[in-house]
Chains A and B, each alone.
Chain A
């Protein structure tokens, strides 16, 4: 019993401690590419502490839903993080079919963020909420298709299995090319779901160019802190899945695997920073095409896993 508690608490602590660092690495990478020194790597931690110490200001238009939004979103994303394995073993929450719970926890977070945005009665938040709702419709099938391809390649429908053990023998086998396509599709989905360029611009605060940034515009103090933390945790979760697909190693030790995962996550963050520095955001009318491309890539990966091989 105590072993289980340690497992759960340790997993959560890992997510909470490591996630703001990813934002720090991304900002630092972008600054370096632009020729500046950039903010300190641990700046996001200082920002979060500052936000938690502030008081909140609420709009008169808002109701209890606005106050519940950040709490539910943060709790949902932390719960989804408990389903993703981090150290080569099983995640705390793992069972056959847990990927559905994972996707729907993220959906719950999204529902409450959208509803909290609409509660402010402002055109800006409505704009962000509308875009978030529409683009997630196209991103979800891509996520499910990628997971189906991975599950067929590894023979199990539990995230702890198709992200680590099951994939090890899948890479060298005939399902290899399918996994390459899954990686490509998942990178596209990661950028879309975490509100990164080319889908959204996290650096500017112009209403016409934002999706996630504008949804959380009216939150302040600890609420905003929770939402920033939730965004960081979501990026960590998606990054961890990507690292698992690319390099499903089952190491003998807990610490070497953790170090490998940390290195992988740092590389993912640097990659995101490089992509953000080198590309511009897509026109919003082109984002559906981008998401359909992600769907097509993972759909083709599923097709390859269904086809008989020589």
Chain B
């Protein structure tokens, strides 16, 4: 046993308790299970809906839903830690979710800025019409790549650090077993699923918008992008990289806030164990960066070894299996890219296919179109807004347009107030 130093008495919002957490765990468990399940489902649904979108900004907005799910999963882990007397798990969970709030602001802001400059230059947000923009807008593209890698939670960027902290909290809870372990395991599996679905979605977004060839010939005026638009993107990308490279500093940044939320002191020995894990994490991240540089240098050395001045590599057309006329329309579209996943989850997403198959020999024409409707907008928010509008139209008559009517309203309100005041006296 390491030596123990308590920094403050144990206080949680319900008052001061010392060691009587057993009675509380049962009371807290059901709401926490409900919260964690809801957030896991919410996160997965968010990223599934994002997968099916082909409007760039809507896609990013649905991803925010997923990230809120991740934040809430971290909070669930923190709450579980609090109710099962594991202050380290509580602090890790809350630190992870607080850091994710910050990280999300950074990389989501970055992604939206890039989407805005894409829209500004190309005039459309429909990714099915875009393509190959990395060649004309390299800085925007590079920032979008950084943002995508960050939001997917890949090392060495910042999204990975906050997700790792949440995972660490959930691992501590898993080792405890019982109901807490069950909930923690479900949360871990949902986090893993959310991570890989986010990877699929952002490879789609980045790949379809910035890579390959333009799918529809839209005039893209990249000179519209001014320095004022580029500098914020560059700053945010650098911030993503910087936070990702120093996990210990990021954790320290959130530590005091997390301890305050968790309301419990954490033994200094346990903080040290977290710090040693984080230093291992830092070592791993810097190893990745180091190995990357070594491999890059190796490749350059191999190219140089082949032949000095003639070392410029040949350029040709992409291998096309002997097709006579490869066109940009042969590229994978966004809906084709996610088709295996949308068909797997079709009970939730309900993709629609409109096809006119070729009929007979020498068919005159055929067409195929697939799209996934935006279920939240069509089934939930659309009817809700229509209902609100209808309700509002009913009371529209109050706005008469005549000044006499408004004066009448004023005097009536004054009289009513006076009468009410008099009745109370």
A residues contacting B by CB (< 8 A) are 52-53, 55-63, 65, 71-72, 74-76, 78-79, 82-83, 93-98, 100-101, 103-105, 107-108, 110-111, 114-115, 118-124, 126-127, 129-131, 133-137, 140-141, 143-145, 148, 151-152, 155, 157, 207, 217-218, 221-223, 226, 284, 288, 302, 306
Contact = CB atoms under 8 A, between A and B. Distances in A.
B154 A118 contact: no
Given A55-B306, A129-B332, A122 B135 contact: no
Most interface-central of A52, A114, A118, A306 (chain B CB within 10 A): A118
B145 interface: yes
A78 B199 CA distance: 21
Contact of B207 (A127, A129, A145, A288): A129
Contacts of B134: 63, 65
B42 interface: no
Contacts of A101: 155, 164, 281, 284
Nearest to A108: B154
Contact of A110 (B199, B279, B280, B332): B199
Contacts, number: 236
A127 B299 CA distance: 28
Contacts of A98: 280-281, 284
B1 interface: no
Interface string B277-296: 10111011001100110111
Contacts of A134: 200, 338, 340-341, 344
Interface stretch (B122-130, B188-196, B224-232, B355-363): B188-196
A284 B344 CA distance: 12
A140 B153 CA distance: 14
A223 B213 CA distance: 22
B281 A218 contact: no
B328 interface: yes
B331 A126 contact: yes
A140 to B, nearest CB: 5
B212 A119 contact: yes
Contacts of A221: 313
Among all A-B residue pairs, the 4 with the closest Cβ atoms: A126-B332, A95-B280, A118-B207, A121-B212
Contacts of A111: 149, 152, 154, 199, 203
A137 B196 contact: yes
B167 interface: yes
Given A52-B302, A105-B155, A121-B318, A145 B284 contact: no
Nearest to B276: A95
A97 B193 CA distance: 18
A98 B134 CA distance: 35
A212 B81 CA distance: 42
Contact of A151 (B175, B204, B296): B175
